[in-house]
Structure 1
Amino acid sequence: MAVAPKRSYTSWIVGDTSDAKRQPLGGVVLAGGSTDVDAAMRWFLRQSGGGDVLILRASGSDGYNEYLYRKLGEAVNSVETILLRDRASSNDSVLIRKIRQAEAIFFAGGDQANYVNFWQGTPVADAVNERIKAGAVVGGTSAGCGILGQTYFSAIEGSVTSEEALANPYDKRVDIRRDDFLKQPLLDNTLTDMHYSARNRQGRHLAFMARAATDWAIRPRGIGIDEKTAVCVTPDGNVMVFGLGNAYFLQMTRKKPEVCTQNQSLSWNRKGKAVQVVTIAGSIDGAKGFNLTSFQPTTKAKKEYWYVHSGTLARVFIRASVRTKNGRIQ
């Protein structure tokens, strides 16, 4: 009697175990952590086209299976959770096949460093990127959201507070990486950060962006998401913000930080206009008002400038504005 090979991961599945072969609708879900936002997760399931949903995680269990398959009322072929505990798991051929058959892929919360250690530069990341290119919808919450930007904080050296990152943007814990992991085009040059207001992460987010601007001479973008809040983005970049908190869309103006060096406090002032921030408040039905492709508001929105003076974050409010048909901001 043949013995099935021992798998290097744990899997739980509900629904049809055969491949659905549906056409997904694409897009991305960025969830800020804590309680999942039902409306955003329903959107995620609809974007799968009724196909196979795959949850990837490095800790925890199968809590998403029943929630996504039955409780939300959206029909999909299956929901499968796969728990990977080490980097070797990322080479499993059956696992790779499961990823390549998924119409929706969601990264659960957990230890962000594990996700980078286990999946970056492996066949898992390659397979996920293939599915993104083929139109699969992807998403993540908390740490799972933190790895979705093409520029990202690795957490390899542990977490870092806003105060620590602003005091020294080259602290070893401020480990920022770019273009070597997941490649969702909507998140090009974009750093995500979660638990935003609850954990006071605005300052470290600016420190991350300052490093990206300094190290790679790019014009970085940022998306910050509060807890119990999720940003759903269609393939053409239109945003809907679901939930109880806010989503923050950050973009550097045109000039790099004045001081961003080892063992010195960050200074990124630029006359009080270092980074422009558009805030969209979440709602039950999904608040519209921003487009990631243009990275501009599409309706009247709260706008601010954020800047840093000698390691201290400050803000300047701008009147609400809207981009008109001729492209001007009023």
Structure 2
Amino acid sequence: MLIHHFYQSLKRIFSGYRQIAFLLTALVFAAPASAEATFEKAKPIPLYSYFATGDVNAVVTAPSTLPAPSFVLMGGGPDVDSAFRWLIQRAGITPETGGRFVVIRATGTEAYNPYIYYSDEALTTSTTIAELWVGGASLGLTSVETLVIPSVKAANSPAVNAILSKANVVFIAGGDQSHYIRFWKGTALEQTLKSLMAKNVPVGGTSAGLAVLGQFDYSALYQSATSELSMLDPYYKDITFDPAPLSLQGGFIAPPALANMIFDSHFDSRDRMGRFITFLSRIVAPTSSASGTFGCPGGVLPASSSGNMTARGIGIGVETALLVQGNGNGKPVTAKRVTNPSTTTESAVYFVRPSVPPSVCEPKTPLTVANVEVRKLADPDGVFNMTDWTGVPLYNHLDVTSGTLFPADWY
């Protein structure tokens, strides 16, 4: 920087190039050897980052296989403390068994580690847990570990997958879901996640981490789609999905318990109902009848107000978590909504299902779809049946007519 300023001064004093060059050469060669210390060699970028809080070498006897799946679907914004505790409990972790909680992300830091492991800002492991802390150690966690996995190469790393494979709970942090699709899909990491889910290891995700937990994912490969532009053109460039093209197979991780669903976060605070109805419309397969052709080109599921093999999705507000649990063979998958005691938002969950196919769904053409069912869960005691899509009364029917949502005040 000193040489740079000196050079600029010389330019103002001398107009001749040779004079400047001569003086600069003399300055460089006259510089003391210690000046070299100011120029550091570029440090290699690590393949991945790993952070651990607690004792990763502790003996863990928590069950590696569980009888039913468990998922936390979190809507972004402030994390919901009780949802993390629920994951720990669903994993069968106790102070006697120990357990490992692994957070995965493509960017970011180890900020989740102390929040999940400790009980308060003094970083104690007290059984008295303060709000905004999980207190995992007091519940039995022996470690909380974060893996930052920023590339395909990192996702294929044997070391990364060895750490993840030992997890008793997995949580996918927020960030940018396009990174998860670009960097993790089709890698050893995806296979490790699927192996853990096959053993019903509890899995959670927030914001971008939520977005990749459905059978269909809004992959956000470009800019974040807006409701206004989505309804005006349901095929505009920022609406990207995984799998692409849409298919009943091939999605990233695609937990079987969450089949036929797509998720969206920050739902009411970012006014995302319009884009979400567009996403769901795109999933609806074309059908033909005497009255015409309905549905969306490229769609793969029917629209219906009954049955569980239909296009449907869940939008989740900020500081909101949906606790989704299997209940054994032949029993429905159920869900409850939780939030923090001090939340200042409504913290609602919206269950959305097109009851009939869109009547207009073409590129560069405003969307028209009628009678989209919306069920709203803001009651801490309510239980939603995700298998039958029942348990919460109908909240509203919404229409999109020529690219405009009615009613606009859907929330």
Q: Per the shorter chain, which TM-score range?
A: 0.7 to 0.9
Out of 309, 314, 320, the residue aligned to residue 406 of structure 2 is 314
Partners of 2:194 and 2:178 in 1: CA distance: 19
Q: Give the SS at the match of 2:397.
A: strand
Question: Does 1:109 find its partner at 2:174?
Answer: yes
Q: 1:89: which partner in 2? A: 154
CA distance in 1, matches of 2:363, 2:169: 41
Point out the structure with the larger strand share: 1
Preserved contact between residue 31 and residue 225 of structure 1 (Cα < 8 Å) = yes
Distance in structure 1 (CA, Å) of the matches to 2:176 and 2:326: 28
Structure 1 residue runs of 4+, over 3 Å off?
none
Match of 1:242 among 338, 356, 359: 338
How do 1:1-330 residues align onto structure 2 when only pairs under 5 Å count? 8-18=47-57, 20-23=60-63, 25=66, 26-50=69-93, 51-71=99-119, 72-73=134-135, 74-178=139-243, 179-213=250-284, 214=296, 215-218=298-301, 219-236=310-327, 237-243=333-339, 244-253=346-355, 255-269=356-370, 273=371, 275-283=372-380, 287-297=381-391, 301-315=393-407
Q: Does the 8 A contact of 2:216 with 2:254 survive in 1?
A: no
Code of the residue aligned with 1:22 in structure 2: it is A
1:22-71, Cα deviation, whole Å (9 max, x unpaired): 22653100111110111112112212222211100111111111111122
Q: State the shift of 1:282 in Å.
A: 4.9
* Separation in structure 2 between the aligned mates of residue 182 and residue 307 of structure 1, nearest angstrom: 32
CA apart distance, 1:316: 11
With 176-185 and 142-151 compared, the bigger mean Cα shift is at 176-185
3-state secondary structure, aligned to 2:60: coil
Q: Distance in 1 between matches of 2:379 and 2:49?
A: 35
SS across alignment from 1:296? coil
TM-score (norm 2): 0.70
Are 1:113 and 1:158, in contact at CA under 8 Å, matched by a contact in 2?
Answer: no
| Deviation readout 1:124-179 (Å, 9 max, x if unpaired) | 11110111111101111111111111101000122110001111010111112244
Cα separation, partners in 2 of 1:7 and 1:48, compared to 1, 3 Å: farther
Partner Cα distance (2:360, 2:393) in 1: 31
Contact 2:76 2:266 in 1 (8 A): yes
Structure 1 unaligned blocks of 5 or more: 1-5, 318-330
**Helix, strand or coil at the partner of 1:67:** helix
SS of 1:313 mapped into structure 2: strand
* Mean CA deviation greater in 173-182 or 143-152: 173-182
Pick the structure with greater CA Rg. Answer: 2
- Distance of 2:324 and 2:240 partners within structure 1: 27
Q: How many residues are matched?
A: 302
Q: Distance in 2 between matches of 1:302 and 1:296?
A: 9
Letter in 1 for 2:387: T
Q: CA RMSD in A?
A: 1.9
Is contact 1:109-1:144 (8 Å) kept?
yes
The answer on whether the counterparts of 2:399 and 2:405 sit within 8 Å (CA) in structure 1 is yes
| 1:287-307 residue CA offsets vs partner (Å, 9 max, x unmatched) | 32201122212xx53521122
Aligned counterparts of 2:241 and 2:50: Cα–Cα separation in 1: 31
Any conservation in 2 of the 1:289–1:301 contact (CA below 8 Å)? no
Question: Aligned partners of 2:197 and 2:76: how far apart in 1?
Answer: 22
So what's the TM-score if we normalise by structure 1?
0.87
Secondary structure at 2:102 match in 1:
strand
Instruction: Return the alpha-carbon distance in structure 2 between the equivalents of residues 281 and 207 of structure 1.
Output: 24
Aligned equivalents of 1:145, 1:278: Cα separation in 2: 19
